[in-house]
């Protein structure tokens, strides 16, 4: 378990206690204990006695010991039995906090979202002290937003496919499977999910899939296709599973990956040769059915270069020199990641070992800066201590170059969180906006442009601040930002986390040749695997390998850093 696991446990207990109506001092004790672990510089496994940390008393220390030895918490288990499950779901309603939920429970006995909606519709909530008609209206709007079916964000789709894949792995009759459709094309939003399933026993495979715990409803059951509804962690969507044999798998995968326009183009190529192509394969002029073992062979059949799924939304990909387009294997390093020094889950050395395992030539440690207190941002003193430690470790590891950096806040007044004399000592400085998103565009742009014109800021992280399926981000004049980035040689980031994918593929496609970095913003060693989503976004945007700075060789990247920022 990582430091974050302990912090999450304490914060969760604090939340359940608040929903139970416990006094504020008791709730605060667990939240302060979480803060103490967050701020501790001692590796979590080296803390033998939790009570030595400030704000952690005997009872909390014993709870943490229990968690360490069993992976469970009897207190949390008890709280989960005492707090209505619906109260946890209510927390997802915008502007409805724990204190209001407790009041609704004590006065109206509300335990579910349906009961809350009924009470609001009847006008009972506005009669309570501290609520009022406006609050009641806001709650109803929040319930509508929460319960209205919406397209899956790619982040939600990624979560769902992990569970679906695990379910398919447990099905004895399933030989092979792969997600298709818009999600395979790396769409930011998908209406549903599509799977191609290879099986020699489709009837049995259908039964196995329909009996999975994640399946809540079966719409269609057959030997060619099964259509179901799945529910995972309150995320619900329709999923189609199409069955095929081994010979037909690739043909069906290619067809149902789409898009419609891409498939039309493929049919046109076939027609020009007197052939037909569909989900079953290619039928030649003399009636022979050809079924290829790889998608590459399908494109070669028509004298075309292989087109990655991400580029199949439109037909212009047929005119692109695919040899120039970025691939995942071209990435040589990750330039944005966090450790336990701020809000990461792993120690510095663990992140280094994980990057070596990825085969990277270089990496940059970029913990948060001092103003982001919620993320345990580093003071100047802590930052420079980390800088010195990184220099020592860089000499100790011959396999990889390790650079010191920071993800530094661009403050609401436009200034930067660290002074230039501190930034000058670091290898790589990233600037980012993490607060005051509601400022007008002119103010947001002033903040971003100030960062671009700083001689030490090499990169802007997640430049629009959007969260897919969450928030739209702050207002940005992208044309102005790109012009400033190009003028000042400031790199713009494609943040690879599927909740961000910021900047978007649409921006990339509209600005060919834009210099970018693709980074995971990893807060856990597992997050390093998210690089594929950033690369997929770049591929969707027709980005070339030469445009991505972290495709440089080890020597070239080292030289680029040493040359410093050359502003025009």
Residues forming a β-bridge with 198: 176, 244
Residues forming a β-bridge with 325: 544
Please report the pLDDT score of residue 433 as a whole number: 98
Please report the pLDDT score of residue 319 as a whole number: 96
Please report the pLDDT score of residue 455 as a whole number: 97
Contact in structure between 255 and 181 (CB atoms under 8 Å): no
* C-alpha span between 169 and 520 (Å, rounded): 27
Backbone CA torsion sign across 153, 502, 363, 331? positive
For residue 12, what are the CA distances in angstroms to 76, 99, 134? 8, 15, 30
Q: Name the DSSP letter for residue 311.
A: G
Give the residue from 282, 330, 339 showing the smallest Cα distance to 43.
339
* C-alpha span between 284 and 275 (Å, rounded): 5
DSSP states of 182-249: HHHTT-SEESSEEEEEE-S-HHHHHHHHHTSTTEEEEEEE-SSEEEEEEEETTEEEEEEEEEE-TTTH
* C-alpha span between 312 and 314 (Å, rounded): 5
Q: Which domains does the chain have, with CATH numbers?
A: 3-147 (1.10.150.110), 152-246 (3.30.460.10), 259-317 (3.30.210.10), 328-562 (3.20.20.140)
Q: Name the DSSP letter for residue 80.
A: H
Backbone CA torsion sign across 413, 417, 418, 420? negative
- Low-confidence stretches of the chain (pLDDT < 50) are none
Residues forming a β-bridge with 519: 495
Residues forming a β-bridge with 533: none
* C-alpha span between 548 and 557 (Å, rounded): 11
Contact in structure between 239 and 164 (CB atoms under 8 Å): yes
In tens, the pLDDT along 19-44 reads: 999 999 999 999 999 989 988 888 89
Residue 553, token pair as written in the block = 């060789």
* C-alpha span between 221 and 210 (Å, rounded): 8
Contact in structure between 363 and 337 (CB atoms under 8 Å): yes
Helix (H) or strand (E) holding 283: strand 281-283
- Tokens 């006065």: give the residue: 107
What is the value of pTM for the model shown? 0.88
* C-alpha span between 229 and 209 (Å, rounded): 11
Please report the pLDDT score of residue 145 as a whole number: 81
* C-alpha span between 123 and 117 (Å, rounded): 10
For residue 2, what are the CA distances in angstroms to 45, 46, 271, 319, 345? 8, 12, 58, 48, 6
- Tokens 């995972």: give the residue: 232
Please report the pLDDT score of residue 276 as a whole number: 97
In tens, the pLDDT along 87-109 reads: 999 998 878 999 999 999 999 99
């Amino acid at each position: 378990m990582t430091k974050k696991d302990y912090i999450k446990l304490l914060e969760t207990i604090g939340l359940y206690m608040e929903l139970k109506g416990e006094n504020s001092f008791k709730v605060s004790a667990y939240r302060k204990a979480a803060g103490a672990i967050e701020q501790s510089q001692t590796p979590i496994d080296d803390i033998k006695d939790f009570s030595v940390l400030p704000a952690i008393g005997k009872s909390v220390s014993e709870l943490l010991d229990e968690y360490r030895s069993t992976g469970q918490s009897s207190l949390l288990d008890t709280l989960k039995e005492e707090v209505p499950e619906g109260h946890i779901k209510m927390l997802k309603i915008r502007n409805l906090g724990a204190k209001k939920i407790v009041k609704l429970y004590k006065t109206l006995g509300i335990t579910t979202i349906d009961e809350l909606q009924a009470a609001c519709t009847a006008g009972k909530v506005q009669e309570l002290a501290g609520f009022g008609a406006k609050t009641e209206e806001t709650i109803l709007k929040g319930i509508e937003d929460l319960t209205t079916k919406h397209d899956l964000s790619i982040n939600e789709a990624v979560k769902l496919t992990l569970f679906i894949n695990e379910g398919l792995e447990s099905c004895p009759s399933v030989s092979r499977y792969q997600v298709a459709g818009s999600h395979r094309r790396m769409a930011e939003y998908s209406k549903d999910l599509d799977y191609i399933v290879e099986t020699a026993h489709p009837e049995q495979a259908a039964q196995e899939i329909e009996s999975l715990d994640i399946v809540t409803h079966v719409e269609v059951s057959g030997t060619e296709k099964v259509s179901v509804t799945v529910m995972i962690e309150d995320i619900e969507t329709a999923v189609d599973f199409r069955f095929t044999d081994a010979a037909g798998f690739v043909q069906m995968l290619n067809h149902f990956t789409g898009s419609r326009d891409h498939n039309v183009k493929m049919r046109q190529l076939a027609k020009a040769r007197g052939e037909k192509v569909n989900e079953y394969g290619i039928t030649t002029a003399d009636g022979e059915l050809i079924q290829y073992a790889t998608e590459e062979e399908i494109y070669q059949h028509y004298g075309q270069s292989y087109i990655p799924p991400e580029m199949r939304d439109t037909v212009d990909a047929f005119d692109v020199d695919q040899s120039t387009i970025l691939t995942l294997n071209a990435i040589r390093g990750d330039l944005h990641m966090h450790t336990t020094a701020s809000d990461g889950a792993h120690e510095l050395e663990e992140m280094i070992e994980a990057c070596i395992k990825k085969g990277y030539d270089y990496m940059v440690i970029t913990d948060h800066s001092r103003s982001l207190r919620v993320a345990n941002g580093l003071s100047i003193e802590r930052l420079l201590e980390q800088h010195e430690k990184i220099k020592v470790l860089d000499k100790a590891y011959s396999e990889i170059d390790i650079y010191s950096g920071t993800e530094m806040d661009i403050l609401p007044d436009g200034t930067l969180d660290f002074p230039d004399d501190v930034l000058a000592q670091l290898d790589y400085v990233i600037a980012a906006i993490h607060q005051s998103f509601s400022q007008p565009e002119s103010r947001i742009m002033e903040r971003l442009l100030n960062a671009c014109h700083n001689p030490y800021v090499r990169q802007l992280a997640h430049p629009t601040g959007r969260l897919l399926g969450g928030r739209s981000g702050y207002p940005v004049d992208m044309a102005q930002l790109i012009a400033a980035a190009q003028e000042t040689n400031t790199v713009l980031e494609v943040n690879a986390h599927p909740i961000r994918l910021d900047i978007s593929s649409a921006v990339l496609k509209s600005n060919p040749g834009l210099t970018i970095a693709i980074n995971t913003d990893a807060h856990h060693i597992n997050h390093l695997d998210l690089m594929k989503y950033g690369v997929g976004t770049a591929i969707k945007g027709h980005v070339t390998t030469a445009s991505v700075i972290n495709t440089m060789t080890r020597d070239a990247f080292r030289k680029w850093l040493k040359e410093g920022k050359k502003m025009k």
